[in-house]
């Protein structure tokens, strides 16, 4: 998972130039015009259900150990981030996964696809 950068500049040309520079360096870049927009983007990715897509969350809750073994890039990154403590496979049924995810979504302002407003982040 590449590190993310938000470029804020009200000059379209500068915005594009800086964005391209960082993208060439391998960063995931979002370019916006105002500080408010930048904060809104950060806010919208605060919760796991708005940060990850639903399909990934379902697969991860079903078998986090398998995702790690298969070298899923997000699972590998999280594993390293949490000092090699693996998330255990909780043997949740598909029904239980659906209930858990609905609960988390309800607590955190919806899913990624519902939370996005305006143009999708780049
Ligand atoms: C129903 C209960 C649980 C749910 C819904 C859940 C959900 C999740 C989710 C969605 C992630 C990914 C976070 C992200 O994408 O940023 C995660 C990661 C993680 N979870 Fe859980 N989890 C549960 C139970 C547990 C338990 C019981 C443990 C430990 C005993 C645990 C340990 C971890 C760890 C260590 C990670 C980071 C991944 C890694 O280090 O490999 N989780 N969990």
**Where do the domains of the chain lie, and which CATH numbers do they carry?**
4-44 (no CATH), 48-115 (1.10.760.10)
Question: If residue 32 lies in a helix (H) or strand (E), which one and from where to where?
Answer: strand 28-32
Cα(115) to ligand 1 centroid in Å equals 22
Cα(25) to ligand 1 centroid in Å equals 30
Residue 101, ligand 1, Cβ within 6 A: no
Whether the per-residue pLDDT at 74 is higher than 60: the answer is yes
d(CA 93, CA 104): 17
Which ligand 1 atom minimizes the distance to the CA of 68? 41
Band (pLDDT 50/70/90 cuts) for residue 112 is: low
Buried b (16+ CB within 10 A) or exposed e, 103-119: eebeeeeebbeebeeee
d(CA 113, CA 32): 20
Which ligand 1 atom minimizes the distance to the CA of 81? 40
Cα(17) to ligand 1 centroid in Å equals 38
Q: Which residues contact 19 (CB under 8 A, 6 or more apart)?
A: 7, 29, 31, 122
Which 3 state secondary structure label does DSSP give 95? helix
Band (pLDDT 50/70/90 cuts) for residue 51 is: confident
């370019």: which residue's tokens? Answer: 31
Mean pLDDT of 39-44: 85
Q: Which residues contact 83 (CB under 8 A, 6 or more apart)?
A: none
The predicted pLDDT at position 79 comes to 97
Residue 73, ligand 1, Cβ within 6 A: no
Predicted TM-score (pTM) of this structure:
0.74
CB 97 within 8 A of CB 58: yes
Residue 86, ligand 1, Cβ within 6 A: yes
């Amino acid at each position: 998972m590449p590190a993310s950068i938000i470029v804020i500049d009200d000059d379209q040309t500068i915005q594009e130039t800086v964005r391209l520079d960082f993208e060439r360096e391998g960063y995931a870049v979002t370019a916006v015009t105002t500080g408010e927009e930048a904060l809104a983007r950060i806010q919208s990715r605060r919760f796991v259900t708005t940060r990850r897509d639903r399909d990934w969350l379902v697969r991860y809750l079903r078998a986090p150990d398998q995702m790690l073994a298969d070298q899923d890039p997000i699972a590998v990154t999280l594993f390293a981030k949490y000092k090699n403590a693996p998330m255990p496979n909780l043997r949740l049924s598909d029904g239980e996964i659906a209930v858990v995810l609905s609960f988390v979504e309800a607590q955190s302002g919806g899913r990624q696809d519902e939370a996005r407003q305006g143009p999708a982040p780049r």
